[in-house]
Structure 1
Amino acid sequence: MSHSLAPAKLSLGYKFTWGIAALGTSLISGIYGALLPIFYQDYLGLAAKWIATASFIYAIWNALNDPLFGYITDATRSRWGRRIPYMRFTAPFLA
């Protein structure tokens, strides 16, 4: 018989702290996402239709790729855990 633990109650201060911590990266991502199409169009001279097409392809790729790799990493069982083997393998390619 399996006993599940009740979810821990998180204080408002704890949630607020995590929200503030995420604010910086969210702002950077938002600004980057808003200004990148302007850069592509004004400085690189790409037509808006090509920027939109690339954004659409990227969104479809993420809609398929993210759940697939989430499933793969969730199903991984190794002595290092589920995520560490993938982080160790991919980190040199991202550096």
Structure 2
Amino acid sequence: MGIEMKYYVSIFALATIIGLLFKSLHMNQWMTYVGSGALILGLILSGTLVSGDRMRANAQSDTGAKEAYVWYLFVFAIPFLLLMLFG
């Protein structure tokens, strides 16, 4: 398992523990806020919510920032959203 994958697994495990803690303390509203907030922040930072011409311009002037950090937000949001749907 590569170093990058270990980060994803660690973030997923941390988010699962926090989500289960919220669930056991009956803080379902907070679980919704954290999961939705992480998802929306990930969408904003990934550039998914902008139009095509802006996306093309952003690709032309790439600053070299690591895009994997945005995926960490999505991985963090997954356990909260799953607990919200199935819990």
TM-score of the pair, normalised by structure 1? 0.41
Larger Rg over CA atoms: 1
More RCO (CA 8 Å, sep 6+): 2
